[in-house]
Amino acid sequence: MRWDNLSRDGTAALFGTDVVTRTFDTPEFRGITFHEVRARSIVNRVPGASRMPFEWTINPYRGCSHACVYCFARKTHSYLDLDTGLDFDSQIIVKVNAPELLRRELAAPRWQGQHIAMGTNVDCYQRAEGRYRLMPGILGELRDRANPFSILTKGSLILRDLEILRQAARVTDVSTAVSVGFLDRELWHTVEPGTPSPQKRLDVCRTLNENGIASGVLMAPVLPYLSDSPEQLRATVRAIAEAGATSVTPLVLHLRPGAREWYMAWLSVHHPRLLTRYKALYADGAYAPTWYQRRITRQVHEFATEYGIGPSRRPLRAPAPEPDPEPVPAPADPPTQLMLQV
């Protein structure tokens, strides 16, 4: 694995060489290796070409034990000479100095308090967070600076930090979203094996809203030929509405390099009859054809109207391909130079 020489254009290492590797012989962490690193920055600028409706992000982890076979972030592991399949699921990079870095970067004179999004690359509330507890420190720094932020998660661990979220919501704009693409439990077990169940995630959405933390649902991904029938879409939207979500935003599966190979391998084992149809649907690239995406969006919005829930006004879209290896870091005044983030 390469560490100290991982840079963009050979100009800045992402982190130093003082890496600590750990394994924990407990059921929830069995088979997972954690690499504790000291990152050079934690607030990163999203490339201008991105489709994301925000400019700045925080990602305290890299790799994800949720092990979603379709995860677009899998490609990032290849920059560390790790594979985008099993290594992405089991070799987790932990930025142990994330809260202290954030304190420094939010205090930089050039930082203007812009909105920061979390959970848009890998989940900041994956299982590792239960041990490393980076998010309470991160949320505390954002709260103390009254810096607006949003969180997207498939994890239920966010409820652990409910009180900090409530405190932050009193002084700044705080919004959350849970990701629930479908309800099918058999499909969930095979395609999102490390996540809480879809119903558990909807319970999280309900609890957040009941406690004054606005929470919508990113209905993602809708899986072609697996979770996209009108009956399936209707049932999912109905459950989302019953959970009290403030919004629902559908997103069709997209297959960027890294995720594409892993998803297709999964498909060949679990649904081999669909391989030909998928190759045809995604023949032109990472995204399903526009006509298909519009059909899904139209149907979801029709069902949302039926059940009294509107589409998101600020949808959390999937990110466009990013420059290798990571977004541009946040600005800082000399002598503090913020480096690229892993």
Segment 95-103 shows an average pLDDT of 97
pLDDT over 70 (residue 321):
no
Q: What's the gap between Cα 256 and its chain centre?
A: 15
pLDDT given at position 16: 54
Q: Helix, strand, coil % (nearest 5) of the chain?
A: 35, 15, 45
* Maximum distance among all Cα pairs of the chain, rounded to whole angstroms: 59
pLDDT given at position 21: 86
pLDDT over 80 (residue 324):
no
pLDDT given at position 5: 42
Specify the range with the lowest mean pLDDT, choosing from 47-61, 207-221, 238-252: 47-61
At 315, the amino acid letter reads P
Cα–Cα dist 229/209, whole Å = 29
Whether 82 and 64 have beta carbons less than 8 Å apart is answered as no
pLDDT given at position 293: 98
Cα–Cα dist 170/166, whole Å = 7
pLDDT given at position 50: 54
Locus of tokens 């600590």: 20
pLDDT given at position 24: 82
Q: Considering the chain, what is the average pLDDT of its residues?
A: 87
Give 4 or 253, the one with higher predicted confidence: 253
pLDDT over 50 (residue 159):
yes
The percent of residues in the chain predicted with pLDDT above 70, rounded, is 84
pLDDT given at position 228: 98
Write out pLDDT tens, residues 107-144: 999 999 999 999 988 999 999 999 999 999 999 999 99
Whether 61 and 70 have beta carbons less than 8 Å apart is answered as no
pLDDT given at position 323: 37
Instruction: Supply 169's token pair.
Output: 């919501």
pLDDT given at position 340: 26
Residue 209, C-beta contacts closer than 8 angstroms, at least 6 positions apart = 215, 244, 245, 246
Write out pLDDT tens, residues 284-298: 999 999 999 999 999
At 28, the amino acid letter reads E
Give 204 or 330, the one with higher predicted confidence: 204
pLDDT over 90 (residue 6):
no
Specify the range with the lowest mean pLDDT, choosing from 15-19, 123-127, 214-218, 303-307: 15-19
Type and span of the H or E element at 200? helix 198-210
Burial profile 112-146: b = 16 or more Cβ within 10 angstroms, e = fewer:
eeebbbbbbbbbbbbbbbeebebbebbbbbbbebe
Cα–Cα dist 266/270, whole Å = 6
Extended strands (E) in the chain:
20-23, 33-37, 43-45, 56-58, 61-62, 91-95, 116-118, 149-153, 174-179, 214-222, 248-252, 328-329
Whether 27 and 88 have beta carbons less than 8 Å apart is answered as no
pLDDT over 70 (residue 327):
no
pLDDT over 80 (residue 317):
no
Instruction: Supply 25's token pair.
Output: 């012989």
Residue 206, C-beta contacts closer than 8 angstroms, at least 6 positions apart = 243, 244
Write out pLDDT tens, residues 19-39: 788 888 787 888 999 999 999
Cα–Cα dist 326/235, whole Å = 37
Write out pLDDT tens, residues 166-181: 999 999 999 999 999 9
Cα–Cα dist 208/227, whole Å = 26
pLDDT over 60 (residue 2):
no
The percent of residues in the chain predicted with pLDDT above 90, rounded, is 75
pLDDT over 60 (residue 18):
yes
Q: Which residues pair with 39 in a beta bridge?
A: 15
Whether 202 and 246 have beta carbons less than 8 Å apart is answered as no
Segment 215-235 shows an average pLDDT of 98
Cα–Cα dist 215/171, whole Å = 17
pLDDT given at position 27: 79
Cα–Cα dist 167/209, whole Å = 14
pLDDT given at position 326: 46
pLDDT given at position 15: 56
